[in-house]
Amino acid sequence: MTEEEHLDDDVQPMAQWVRTQAALRQDAASGCLDEEALAAFVSGAGAGRAEALAHLTACARCRHAVAMLSRLVTDERIVSEVRLARGAAWPRRVRWTVGVAAAAAIAVLLLRPSRTDDLVLPGSELREPPITVVGGPALIAPRGRVAAVTILTWSHVPRAARYRLRLYDSVGTAVWENETTDTTVTVASAIPLASGATYFWRVEAKTGRNRWVASELAQFTLAHSGP
C-alpha cells in the first residue's frame, strides 16, 4: 500500500485534481527561503515558522526544496554521518567570539555540581544537542576463518532499542538482513553460506529516533568442507 492509498477512495479524484493544478506548482516571485531558512523549517525551529509556512504554500520551488532536504536529512546513511560528525567535533559550549569573562562565567556554570542538562544558554534550544558519544557494537563472532556459522554475536550497546544486522558476500552484495532486540542472531537455514567463501557483516544499534550507531565491518571465511 502506498502512502496515498491511506486516503479514502472517494477523495482520490480530489487528490488527483490537486496534483494537476498549475497554480499549485507556481513559484513565488519573491521571499524565497535561503539555505538557513530551509534548514530551520526542516529542523522544526520555531523562529519565523509562520512566515515560512505561508511562503511554502505559495512557492513550489521552496516546497520541493523542503521536501528534498527532508528526504536527505532523514536518510539513514546521512543521519549516521551527522552523528559521527558530531562525535568528531570538539566539545565546546562557547564560540571563540565570546569574551574571556563570559567564557569564565559559563565555565563556572559548567563546573558547578549539578545536572549538566540544567544549563540552558540563550538560544541553545536551537543548537545541536549535547554530544553523547555512543560506540557501535563490537562484533564478537564469527571472525576470521571458521568451520561453520550458526550464530552471530556482538556486544551490547547502552540504550539500544534494537539491532540491525547485515551480511554481505565478498563483492559487497547484501545477502541477509535481520533485526533483533538481542545481541545474537541465528543464521537462517535459508541463507546458503558457501564453504570457502568470504563474508562481511556489520551490526547497527538503534539508540534513539533516527539514531543508529554502526559497528566496524567484520570478515569471516567459511573453511572448505568435505574431503
Q: Find out whether the peptide bond into 142 is cis, omega within 30 degrees of 0.
A: yes
Tell me whether residue 96 or residue 190 sits nearer to another protein (CB atom).
Answer: 96
**Cα distance between residue 218 and residue 110, in whole Å:** 40
- Residue 227 CB, shortest distance to another protein, in Å, is 41
- Residue 174 CB, shortest distance to another protein, in Å, is 15
The C-alpha cell at 160 is 539500544
Helix (H, G, I), strand (E, B) or coil at 201: strand
Tell me whether residue 84 or residue 187 sits nearer to another protein (CB atom).
Answer: 84
Tell me whether residue 12 or residue 225 sits nearer to another protein (CB atom).
Answer: 12
Cell 511554502 sits on residue: 56
- Residue 82 CB, shortest distance to another protein, in Å, is 4
**Cα distance between residue 176 and residue 167, in whole Å:** 5
Could you count the other beta carbons within 10 Å of the beta carbon of residue 68? 12
- Residue 104 CB, shortest distance to another protein, in Å, is 17
The C-alpha cell at 16 is 488527483
Tell me whether residue 2 or residue 150 sits nearer to another protein (CB atom).
Answer: 2
